Chains A and B, each alone.
Chain A
Amino acid sequence: MALKMVKGSIDRMFDKNLQDLVRGIRNHKEDEAKYISQCIDEIKQELKQDNIAVKSNAVCKLTYLQMLGYDISWAAFNIIEVMSASKFTFKRIGYLAASQCFHEGTDVIMLTTNQIRKDLSSPNQYDTGVALTGLSCFVTPDLARDLANDIMTLMSHTKPYIRKKAVLIMYKVFLKYPESLRPAFPRLKEKLEDPDPGVQSAAVNVICELARRNPKNYLSLAPLFFKLMTSSTNNWVLIKIIKLFGALTPLEPRLGKKLIEPLTNLIHSTSAMSLLYECVNTVIAVLISLSSGMPNHSASIQLCVQKLRILIEDSDQNLKYLGLLAMSKILKTHPKSVQSHKDLILQCLDDKDESIRLRALDLLYGMVSKKNLMEIVKKLMIHVDKAEGTTYRDELLTKIIDICSQSNYQYITNFEWYISILVELTRLEGTRHGHLIAAQMLDVAIRVKAIRKFAVSQMAMLLDNAHLIASNTQRNGICEVLYAAAWICGEFSEHLEEANQTLEAMLRPKVTTLPGHIQAVYVQNMVKLYASILQQKEQSGEKEAAQEITQLMIERLPQFVQSADLEVQERASCILQLIKYIQKLQIKEVPVAEEVIALFAGELNPVAPKAQKKVPVPEGLDLDAWINEPPSDSESEDEKPKTIFHDEEQRHSRHRQPEIDEEELARRREARKQEQANNPFYIKSSPSPQKRYQDTPGVEHIPVVQIDLSVPLKVPGMPMSDQYVKLEEERRHKQKLEKDKKKKKQKKEKRGKHHRHNSLHTESEEDITPAHHVDIITEEMPENALPSDEDDKDPNDPYKALDIDLDKPLADSEKLPVQRHRNAETLKSPDSEAPPVEKSKKPKKKEKKHREKERDKGKKKEKEKKVVEEEEEKKGEDLDFWLSTAPPPVSTAQPQSGPEVSAAVVAEPEEVKKEEREEQQEEDEGKKSSKHKKKKHKKEKEEKSKDKKKSKKKHHSEEEATESVQNGTLDDEPLPPMSSYRLLAENPYIKMTYDIQGNLQNDSQVTVSVIFENKSTSFLKSMELNVLDSLNTKMLRPEGSSVHDGIPVPFQLPPGISNEAQFVFTLQSIVMAQKLKGTLSFIVKNDEGSTHEKLDFKLHFSCASYLITTPCYSDAFAKLLESGDLHMSSIKVDGISISFQHLLAKICFHHHFSVVERVDSCASMYSRSIQGHHVCLLVKKGENSVSIDGKCSDSTLLSNLLDEMKETLSKC
């Protein structure tokens, strides 16, 4: 056997391997393509052989050829063969090839499902790894669905190498198979706290990627990420988390407030620029989200801007670039702080690096004010002249226009200046943005009435010098401005001084070389011009001149009639006829000007861009309804009276085409002939089209107007924008002097002339009055325009499918599809090349199954929904709770610094907290009451009880009580307020209450939250808490401290203030309740001095505190009970008077259970301990008694739990 293998490999050692191929290609530089096609032929031969080594060698070469641009999809099946090799060496080659060339359209990809599944469960971690890597590149919806469950299992693999890959690939699976997101999410979340940093980082990566697309669904993870952020040292992870927070803060401003402090700390402490930069970025995001009404963050802004300045000033171009990028984000909300760095940014405009110049340009947008606009634009114009590449120059051009036109020309004080800037820009050769300039010209001329006269004169000049602009028509972007020029001159021809000259300019033969749409505008507007000239001449009685101008039109228009552009042709011939008619009238000496000018009466007003969309549909109008009855196919139609409309009859006849008789056809043929005869574009023998033009003079007869020979390159008489800058300065100076005078006499008068932006101006800017009376006409909107301004979302967004609420508990139906009928044969034979026919059937089967499942899902949805709503509420509250009350973990970690400072710090949050809590309650109340109205009683009740359970100590009873009275819909009496915080110890100075919570992530830890309340009028400080550890239960102390050391409480207490601290305890066994003795030592400081005080306490760890409320579904519950490995025990308590509802609520609240099912006075409940013991309860209520049957995987734990429960219930 071995010999045979050796022989085989000797045979193939003379095959080309990858290196030979590469070498060969390098040696055939001249005929590379030929050589490669030869190689491909060889590869095809090799692929036909049975030897897997030969095959994989061939596939390896193909992968290389793929990189060179050769399509290798024809070898897809061979690639799959190599993927299924038993040896890792070959497998890896196969998967690599697949990852390079497989995609959703690869049809054989479905054959890989079983192979991949097999590899995923391979005992060799590298087989699994290579399969995961490959799959990540070519996963399809089918593969994702079929393999999701297998990958999910791998997320808990023992090897971190596999875990991290499995976690990462889940993102791809989610994208392709969004249904998998909810079932897999809990585990993914778990991985955030994986002991291996690689896995943790992968989980962070995936969640960040998910959250980036649909941030609101991940808000509830904020506390967890916050914890990671303050504890992680991995920069990569930190960057991801910080970026994520940047995406979350806009949704939750309170989160932002919480973030500012740790982020600022990081900014101060980190040495990694990448991290610093991301921190600054997120702080900016926070500040943007807080920008309304948070004036006291100016320090943070200053810090950011200051750090960014350091980046921008750095010699490293990368940092400079990023600094500018981040700066532009600040600009949006805090332009003032950026403006102070104008010098630096203008300096960057001169940088040799184009990327940096472009970023600096972005910033300029926000730097301008009325004062400096002209100056900045002037600088930019210099850059425009200097710029080499057209892209950069075009960018400059758009930026100049952006800057000037921003917020409705807010910063322009002198529109003459602006028009001349625009005119200057038209001298740019080869720009793509001619239409932009044109649009600006039109916009300004239409909307700024006062400028029209000036604009028209400038435009006339442009038209006169059109040859300069249109000369390089091959790159004719700039000739678009002629479109605007022609229109402005025509529309506002009353302002034109030498209309004759302009008209002549527009009639020049060269115009016909312009693009059609511009010619069309020319033609239309020369009539406007003509009309106004006519009127002028008629009024002044110069009949000769009037006829001359008519003659000119008649002479020149035919060149447009011949245009190839339909629009130009149509307009020109129409107008030519009109003018011929006018000529006739003129000969008869009939005054015509009035009538001609009437053609263009009325003003065109600008219309807002969204006006059409915002026209409300009038009431009672159904746009989808038929206006007339839909035409029925029945013949009865014919009987309808023919009185309606003449042409409707015609339309009917067209509908019934097949029944047209011979006569009709003949008639039509005739008509068509006629039509063709009159169409100049039909080439035919008939000389008719030429005849039509015979009466007009030929092109060669047109007298060529002697023009443009003496025209200098600078457009004559064109004002230079620079002059305006000077003029403006003088004007402003004068204005200022005047103003100063006025000020003394009277109080400042408001002089801002803009309608819209008065409120935006700062005082200093208001001082500058525009040079003209600027009357910006606002755009027209339809009456009753809808105020909504929502942007249309892209319905094709692939990430939309992942917009899934993750906080809902999982329904039973939401499971990843598991393949049940495995193909045993393929499993057994490792080197299989199983017949593809057999395999290809499988996916179909699976699909069916999947569909069935979905049907199930539908059924269960109703039930699920109920639970979902409750849970949502709970989640929301949890987050609120974290955001508003929990002391930030940072502060716990921080050692005490000077007493005064920290005292203030503590006092403040407490106040804020209180306020917020109140707000929150109001909100909650509002939410609930509105909900209550909508929902049915039953749901309400449940919700209520749940709410109570979760409300903890923070909700005060009064509000709850009043609320239920107000609502008045409850038929049960309200629940009494419950608090899980029990008294720990109390003396005249201090009161301690505590609560114990299991830690879900760690099976041997519980967290004890202690609220310290200062009851005295003295200041309490240097509090230190110490407990006497038992063998089983120990307090978690910082490393290096002995078991006898206490833990300092991380805050001080001013009189009357309370605050909460958390202590972590580790335990081994949780089946028994524990008691720990402890002492709190503290210093009381008042006017008389300070004294040491001590307070002893006993911490009671009840068994219930090891339980974690875990929702459970009835079928899972039933399965659990059936499994039979649970121990059973029961209790009975007499003399219970409270309602069953309350009873359940109490058990849920104090003992951390959740109700699985409730039928009348019988309920099943479930909970789980931190060490994974299941605890099931069946609670039955008798007349005056309650019996509880319990089942638990540990009998001691159960009996202890039941004892505790008995105690609770007996108090009722």
Chain B
Amino acid sequence: MDSGLSPQDKKDLDKFIKFFALKTVQVIVQARLGEKICTRSSSSPTGSDWFNLAIKDIPEVTHEAKKALAGQLPGIGRSMCVEISLKTSEGDSMELETWCLEMNEKCDKDIKVSYTVYNRLSVLLKSLLAITRVTPAYKLSRKQGHDYVILYRIYFGEVQLSGLGEGFQTVRVGVVGTPVGTITLSCAYRINLAFMSNRQFERSAPIMGIIVDHFVDPPCSSQRANMGHPCNYRAPDEEDGYAGVQDSQEVCTTSFSTSPPSQLYASRLSYHHPAQTGAAELCHPAANQGLHAGKDHGGVVLVPQPPHGADAHLTVEHAANTPGSSGGDDGLTHSGERRRDEGSSVSPSDPVESLNAFTRKIGAFVNKSNTPITAASLDLPFAAFAPRGLDSEENDPMVQPPDSPPCPSPLQASLHSQGSEGSGQQDDFVMVDFRPAFSKDDLLPMDLGTFYREFQNPPQLASLSLHISSQSMADDLDSLPEKLAVYEKNIDEFDAFVDMLQ
């Protein structure tokens, strides 16, 4: 293996490969921290910047990398791999990509180690910097925080790509020939997450200013630093240690229940609480294991769940007796969900307060027809990740508008056009695939479509309710001639009154 290579060159080459491996890991992990990287150029060499590139060294990452290498170097049959995975706040995890630093037997004997190999390794690192921003996991990692975090794991030995799902793609970053073999750097990444990244993770962000983390601690800012805990991947029992407070606070206002992401979210909730399935069980808390009324406040049931996978979570649900709802609640009327670390106490007033803010929405939009969907989703693992079917079209009021009730007066008709969910129509979906002009509503959480949905269906004013208004209109019209007669009779009084004012 060393034929023709001087001892000094061999020593240099080993050093280069070792530091190249360490720098590779740093670049990959730093690219997945979720922040933009910025380092300065320096015209005077400091002597500590390997490959003439300013790449910071995060100590934990170096430590982990050295631990994985355990004094060995990447070589033929011994590859160094960095696995990047995503972990949701519910504990589901998925491998996103695996970066592999491998060596094969193809040697380039004539190449100069201290010069050409070094420079080419430098170019390869630059390529790695560029490519790490291009794979799909980059966008996901920039958005990590509330709902999921990105983890890394370094291992040495044989490459394992089975966790990447079917049809994963590979991109080769580059190769550098050396006298002892050819170094190859490549990345294999999952592709069937690309669909999810646009739908699930972006849309599950808090919507429209109703962010429910007023009442809880903000997510631990050291979440990003938790990338330095690859052990989490290997030992799921240790989940407590790293996450800090992970809040998956969702304002699951049911006005969005028809749109794919909130259903996705709701079905995720249902999947995760197998004890609470379907509409009926929410109305009968006694029959439901894990549910107990901590505080009965206007029908609110506080539900501290038993710890699940070392995470304690609090589910707040709204029971059946809100005004206007007809007991058809099911998993989709959750107004929010919170998670806390095991052992922290829950204050009952907070969820109630948050619920009161949403009461009006919950009363209006009760949805029965989705029960089969949520029940079915229980059978599938990772049901939350399954693409949503198009079955909501049957219930789409836009496609099949509900019959409008008879209108005795034009005024009533106009009053009724917007409020299609007046009394008696609470079962229908309010809106599906609402596309307001000039906006695309499924990318940004706070955009025009969301605004429309939020504010399009306020509760009707009592004075404008149909019966009263129609009655008063009719009465007014009928009584008009009499009133006129009375006024004519008292015309002298009115004139005197006017004179008095002047």
Q: Do A and B actually bind?
A: no
Interface residues of B (CB under 8 A from A): none
